[in-house]
Amino acid sequence: MVKEHNIVITDFSGGDDKAAALVLMGQQHRDGLSFVSTFGNRSSQVCFRNMQTWIPEMNRHLRHPYDPSPNIYYGADRPIKSRKRYTIKPGDIETFIHEDMGHDRPDTPHFRKNDRSAQLYRMVDSQPSDVRILSLGATSELPHALQKIRSKIQSLVIMGGVLSIQGNTAPHQEANLRHDPNATVATLAQAREQNIPVVLLPLDTSEQEGVQFTADRLKFLSSKIKSAFAMNTLRSVAGRAATYGAFYLNRTHHQDHFPYHEVPYTGVPLHDLTAAVAQHDYHNGQSIFTYTKSSIHHDALGQIGIARGYMEPHAPVTIVGPLRSYDEHWRAVVEHLRSYR
């Protein structure tokens, strides 16, 4: 019997919207769920350690917990063409956005051989399984995954890139694709060769008004969800008074202001939670978002676009677009979070 196995690749810093996204993923994939660290908001080492603490706690609060708890693996810790591990230095844009929000300390967790992501891919490859991958951080782990289990992958959903709004690390750049443009190019090329569907959720979609986490939406969820664990996770990233929103509202970067400083700002964009909802929607009716098959072009800086211009040759993708229904989106969030006690 073929089982579905979902792999979430994430730079889980421990204090941002990735926590909300992982909570949302908890009960979606009963056949199999695994987590792989990558770098981005923090180093891969720190993200791995954070998940070692967070995932068992998340599992403990599920109404029907996994037994055993979902496995956690150590993934890419540097860009694919770099010899040095990725670390965050004072003054980096990730430090500006995420300082004091994660659990970044200089110590390194202890790894066993079986902790490496290669062990996960060997296990998946040895079993009859259909694999869905959700990428929520740097894309550096994806070429490795596509090389090892390409015949098993049914879809690859990537949260990253920006098309027509201001980026979050530069006017035309988004952080996840900026970290390792070479890995993004290799991923798109391998997926095209193997006919693996790639679904891209850009900032344009995850920052639309309908998915921003506002105070009134927090109040709505509080009236529907009884789990203190789930609600405390959401409260940590919601609204102007929350840490995540406060950093965007009160701090500026020397290059530019972020869009969160603008007057129309109403809530926190939960990029990764939106990607988790979109992945589920893509495979279950496509009733929440619009989906457009298109071709994207890319350059060496991690920028993407749908106009040919100066960029490199295109790659076929499905772009997650505007919401069909705001209400359906938030009802889906409620449905998933009711999995917690």
Q: For the chain, list the domains and their CATH numbers.
A: 3-211+267-337 (3.90.245.10)
- pLDDT at site 131: 95
Residue closest to 58 by CA, chosen among 107, 8, 100: 8
How many whole angstroms separate alpha carbon 333 and alpha carbon 341? 15
What is the torsional sign of CA 45, 50, 56, 58? negative
The token duo for 110 is 């202890």
Say if residues 38 and 177 touch (Cβ distance below 8 Å): no
Q: Which amino acid is at 45?
A: Q
- pLDDT at site 122: 94
> Whats the size of the chain, residue-wise?
341
- pLDDT at site 234: 82
- pLDDT at site 24: 84
Average pLDDT, the chain: 81
- pLDDT at site 99: 36
Write down the H helix ranges in the chain. 17-25, 44-60, 93-98, 117-125, 142-149, 175-178, 181-194, 203-206, 215-224, 228-235, 243-250, 271-283, 326-337
Backbone torsions φ then ψ of 35, nearest 5 degrees: -125, 140
Say if residues 333 and 273 touch (Cβ distance below 8 Å): yes
pTM to 2 decimals?
0.87
- Flag residues of the chain having pLDDT under 70: 1-2, 14-16, 27-30, 89-114, 237-267, 307-313
- pLDDT at site 101: 36
- The distance of Cα 145 from the centroid of its chain, to the nearest Å, equals 16
The token duo for 267 is 């809530």
Say if residues 339 and 26 touch (Cβ distance below 8 Å): yes
How many whole angstroms separate alpha carbon 254 and alpha carbon 70? 41
Containing 286, the helix (H) or strand (E) segment is none
Say if residues 6 and 35 touch (Cβ distance below 8 Å): no
- pLDDT at site 313: 66
Q: What angle do CA 13, 33, 217 make, to 5 degrees?
A: 55
- pLDDT at site 96: 34
- pLDDT at site 177: 92
